[in-house]
Amino acid sequence: MAGFLRGYILQYIVLVFYLSSSSLIVDAIQTRFVLNDRPIIGIVSQEVYNKSDYSLPPTSSYIAASYVKYVEGAGARVVPILVDQDEAYLRRIFNSINGLLFPGGAIIFEYDNSTINNSTKGFVSTGLFLMKLAKEANDKGDYFPVWGTCLGFEFMLFAEGNGQDARTQCQANNQLDKLRFQKDAMQSMLFGKARKSVINTLGTKAVTANFHHLCLTPENFTRFGLDQSYYLLSTSYDPVGNVTYVSAVESINYPFFAVQFHPEKNIYEWTKKENLPHSPEAIEAAQYFAMFYVDQARKNTHSFNSTTEEEAHLIYNYIPTYTGLKGDTFVQKYFFPFDWSKKGYN
């Protein structure tokens, strides 16, 4: 009986070997070597742009809850990263999380070289400091991924360009675009292992939701030297502004990825003021990006020093506000008080 079973299993293994594609086997091997199956992503908060909104203290920052859900839906937890904090706070958080996410939003990029090492001046200074830490970590062999969406995408390229703003005006606001994959996109990390159905949807159907008045053209991408540090993976076309703009990039030397569109909106935003495709194929494509990115974070082994410290920082300490009820295009937002960072550290 045992011998029969052994033979049967062997046959089965041989059969599976011949039937499955080699990529399936590669996937299985990679799954076995996941370093960290409890990844935590730090999402950078940003200043509330309309200070009279919701009677908040003027120094409050926020994170749209859709970014939190986006990360959670792919198997990770979230720690909010507050702005206007000191360097020690950012270093501690950085050394405790497995990846960063720069969300969309509205922030004016003011770059002052004298403040590049000063994290106390909002989203841009905080972000520049974190990007510096991310590069230093990766340079030392500590695999640390970074993701940017919309404003986050623009910010990461702004940071790369030493504060040169290479953006141009476009009208891709509330606009659905498809991706035009560039020559080597299918060899990239971001798209190389995507299912055919995902590539097909992104390339042939206008499912990516865009909300930007500024964009980066392929001409400026090259002119500003960004092609030296990032691969241009796809462009999209804004028919209103008649502008072709860069829609997806990945860093040449670092696990940094960024998209101009909003995958999280397809899945988690429901305002009727925005045109958001919620079809099964749009959701599949949007979810692909979250799954891809969280998988990068699983390769990082940073952790909080203690469970208590981890618990004190997780997003679960906050209750999102149902801002959609008040007409906000975000269905829910997390708001953060100014002095929260002190919490949880003795």
Ligand X SMILES: *[C@@H]1O[C@H](CO)[C@@H](O)[C@H](O)[C@H]1NC(C)=O
**Total number of residues that touch ligand X (CB under 6 A):** 24
Does position 117 interact with ligand X (CB under 6 A)? The reply is yes
Least Cβ distance, residue 216 to ligand X (angstroms) = 7
Q: How far apart are CA 189 and CA 181, in angstroms?
A: 13
Task: Establish whether 262 is a catalytic residue.
Answer: yes
Residue from the set 56, 75, 109, 116 that interacts with ligand X by CB under 6 A: 116
- List beta partners, residue 161: none
Q: For residue 28, what are its two tokens? A: 């299985």
Residue 288: in which H helix or E strand, if any? helix 280-297
Q: How far is the CB of 242 from ligand X (least distance, A)?
A: 4
Nearer to ligand X, 23 or 242 (CB): 242
Q: Does 135 bind ligand X (CB under 6 A)?
A: no
Tokens of 173: 């606001």
Q: Which two tokens stand for residue 256?
A: 């940094």
Q: How far apart are CA 14 and CA 332, in angstroms?
A: 51
- Give the CA distances from residue 119 to residues 87, 204, 273, in Å, rounded to whole numbers and listed in that order: 6, 42, 35
Among residues 242 and 307, whose Cβ is nearest to ligand X?
Answer: 242
Q: Which of 59, 73, 121, 203 binds ligand X (CB under 6 A)?
A: 121
Q: Is 215 a catalytic residue?
A: no
Q: Nearest-CA neighbor of 247 among 207, 297, 200, 291?
A: 207
Task: Give me the helices (H) in 64-150, please.
Answer: 65-72, 87-94, 122-139
Task: For residue 111, state whether it binds ligand X (rule: CB under 6 A).
Answer: yes
Residues 48-87 as x/- pattern, contact with ligand X by CB under 6 A: --x-xx----------------------------------
**Rounded Cα gap, residues 146 and 157, in angstroms:** 12
299 binds ligand X (CB under 6 A): no
Question: Hey, which residues are catalytic here?
Answer: 150, 262
**Binding residues for ligand X (CB under 6 A):** 50, 52-53, 92, 95-96, 111, 113-114, 116-118, 120-121, 162-163, 165-166, 168, 217, 219-220, 242, 305
